[in-house]
Structure 1
């Protein structure tokens, strides 16, 4: 007989188990860009309290193919008319973020942002690299959907759990402003990735995560939210790597990820005392997965893991500091403009 646990406990167990299972399976199957699958699983498990039906799963994969294909259409513009191409990417990013903020499917919005940035920047270097990224995203989504189904079967939502409340509707002006702010957070990293896409693709995923988090962050809490979660994710990645080095095998990889994800999920769902928002803990886990995944790949390729980690962590901190500064500057200017209007 299955014991019915509280909804928050089930969700924490589901998110941590599903993320750990997807991470281990992705590296065990040697998928291209293996950190993508657990990142997608993390986003889906955090956003969905019900399993995806089979038709919805197929529809999501088709949506991924269509949205990521938008990045392919921008490759000729970025190669031959770079200024026009970058401006068009910026406009499309604003529309993608606005779609998510106005009640659209958050996964579709994320796929749009990833397609516009990762695939188009990869395609400026080589079309084959862009196709490899699309293949990695599709395979990663298939694995994430499978993991989502298994996790919901093992840790189902209690029948007595209330339905999830819809996010509060934003005015067109507010959603447009937040979309512009998120776009300005992501766009410089996109320009950096166009120089060397193979090296900076993980930085794009970090910038996308920061862009989404900045939509729910005020100027007062930007430093604590964005920089704090990045630093904590880096610290957890260091501790994870040290723990994994004691027993290097796939089972320990899964078990250590399960433990670290449980620690974060406990705070994310309010099972422990925390002053931070759920977005803080989601960004912490996303940072951990990206840094850890790249370190494992560096080790397999025979690279200097510690030097590569230090460089990557430094770039993450720089990108996060830029995001904090952008949120502060834009919000401060907006408040100054609104001040005279309210007095009039």
Structure 2
């Protein structure tokens, strides 16, 4: 009974924190408003305690390292593109391997997102790169604030045991998985170099796929990766048509709260399914990215349905490529 109450409390924290972050991000008109709720989803799903001082300092250092490295690599990408691409690939590999070898997965995710988004934006326009830097910093700060707020509203019981640490991949397996994840992210980043503003959601999706591929086997790749992408698309469609009944910021918050509760129940196994928690986590991330971009398209007067179809097609293409990459690495491992 106590364990069930703890899961229910975590579901409430997850749903309310995500909904508040999404509504606040759009209400404040933050640059790239989907960044904050995406970070909030990862934070709320993985942190069952308020962020410690050590973790806060680590995140501050990551912000400085990511923004500094991303901006420093912009001149290299402009004047020495081949060397720049290799450096970005190496940085992605090291970031994923850091997470696999026992490092903070949130730090690794933020490093990957920052390196790809800032460097891609900087090659087109330095001002756009500064906008991305602002979006990442503000988004992370808002997500951390919502984490603290939801833990204050729904604290963990004092006698609750901490979650067991995830088993770390060491040596060659960690390097192989990190290389695979880096190769999953690279094509979307290269595509975004041609139009960073238009393809920024593709980078965010590829970062999510890279993170998800670290814990997915080749046998379940199609179900986990492609299934979560399609489920996220269906959730985004359902959310969009639900929102059309009454378009208001409070309804945006309330619908997000409802969808967050539905996904949270499956994420925390209150309503068990045959799909893993990672499946539902990445389904919600995909929904937020697609939905946020559709809201921005509508505000800009664009054809929302055509833009959604194109974006969904790109999401599926990136996901199919990720599944193929997992199969190739699995085949090479068996041959060796």
Rounded to whole Å, the distance in 1 between the matches of 2:3 and 2:149 is: 17
TM-score (norm 2): 0.97
User: Is contact 1:64–1:108 with CA below 8 Å preserved after alignment?
Assistant: no
User: Is contact 1:78–1:85 with CA below 8 Å preserved after alignment?
Assistant: yes
Rounded to whole Å, the distance in 1 between the matches of 2:51 and 2:166 is: 20
Aligned-partner SS, 1:195: coil
How far residue 5 of structure 1 moved from its aligned partner, in angstroms, is 6.5
User: Is contact 1:61–1:141 with CA below 8 Å preserved after alignment?
Assistant: no
Rounded to whole Å, the distance in 2 between the matches of 1:168 and 1:56 is: 20
User: Is contact 2:62–2:111 with CA below 8 Å preserved after alignment?
Assistant: no
User: Is contact 1:232–1:284 with CA below 8 Å preserved after alignment?
Assistant: yes
Q: Which residue of 2 aligns with 1:35?
A: 34
Rounded to whole Å, the distance in 2 between the matches of 1:166 and 1:304 is: 46
User: Is contact 1:4–1:158 with CA below 8 Å preserved after alignment?
Assistant: no
Distance 1:301 1:71, change over 3 A: same
Rounded to whole Å, the distance in 1 between the matches of 2:185 and 2:93 is: 10
Rounded to whole Å, the distance in 2 between the matches of 1:268 and 1:55 is: 27
Q: Which residue of 1 aligns with 2:278?
A: 279
What are the superposed Cα offsets for residues 192-246 of structure 1, whole Å, 9 maximum, x if unpaired?
Answer: 0001101001100000000010011111100000000000000000000000000
How far residue 7 of structure 1 moved from its aligned partner, in angstroms, is 1.7
Q: Which residue of 2 aligns with 1:8?
A: 7
Once superposed, what is the RMSD of the aligned Cα atoms? 1.4
Rounded to whole Å, the distance in 2 between the matches of 1:69 and 1:115 is: 10
Rounded to whole Å, the distance in 1 between the matches of 2:218 and 2:4 is: 38
Q: Which residue of 2 aligns with 1:341?
A: none
1:231 aligns with 2:230: yes
How far residue 76 of structure 1 moved from its aligned partner, in angstroms, is 0.9
1:215 aligns with 2:214: yes
Q: Which residue of 2 aligns with 1:250?
A: 249
What are the superposed Cα offsets for residues 126-163 of structure 1, whole Å, 9 maximum, x if unpaired?
Answer: 11111110001111111111111111111111223221
Question: What does residue range 1-344 of structure 1 map to in structure 2 within 5 Å?
Answer: 6-53=5-52, 56-57=55-56, 59-337=58-336
How far residue 324 of structure 1 moved from its aligned partner, in angstroms, is 0.5
Rounded to whole Å, the distance in 2 between the matches of 1:134 and 1:211 is: 21
Rounded to whole Å, the distance in 1 between the matches of 2:167 and 2:295 is: 40
Rounded to whole Å, the distance in 1 between the matches of 2:56 and 2:283 is: 27
Distance 1:4 1:177, change over 3 A: closer
User: Is contact 2:217–2:326 with CA below 8 Å preserved after alignment?
Assistant: yes
How far residue 55 of structure 1 moved from its aligned partner, in angstroms, is 7.0
Rounded to whole Å, the distance in 1 between the matches of 2:64 and 2:202 is: 22
TM-score (norm 1): 0.95
How far residue 6 of structure 1 moved from its aligned partner, in angstroms, is 2.0
Name stretches of at least 5 consecutive residues in structure 1 with no aligned partner.
Answer: 338-344
User: Is contact 1:219–1:328 with CA below 8 Å preserved after alignment?
Assistant: yes
Name stretches of at least 5 consecutive residues in structure 2 with no aligned partner.
Answer: none
Rounded to whole Å, the distance in 1 between the matches of 2:146 and 2:154 is: 12
User: Is contact 2:18–2:37 with CA below 8 Å preserved after alignment?
Assistant: yes
Greater mean alpha carbon deviation, residues 107-116 or residues 292-301: 107-116
Rounded to whole Å, the distance in 1 between the matches of 2:12 and 2:35 is: 21
User: Is contact 1:298–1:304 with CA below 8 Å preserved after alignment?
Assistant: yes
How far residue 123 of structure 1 moved from its aligned partner, in angstroms, is 0.4
How far residue 273 of structure 1 moved from its aligned partner, in angstroms, is 2.2
How far residue 56 of structure 1 moved from its aligned partner, in angstroms, is 4.5
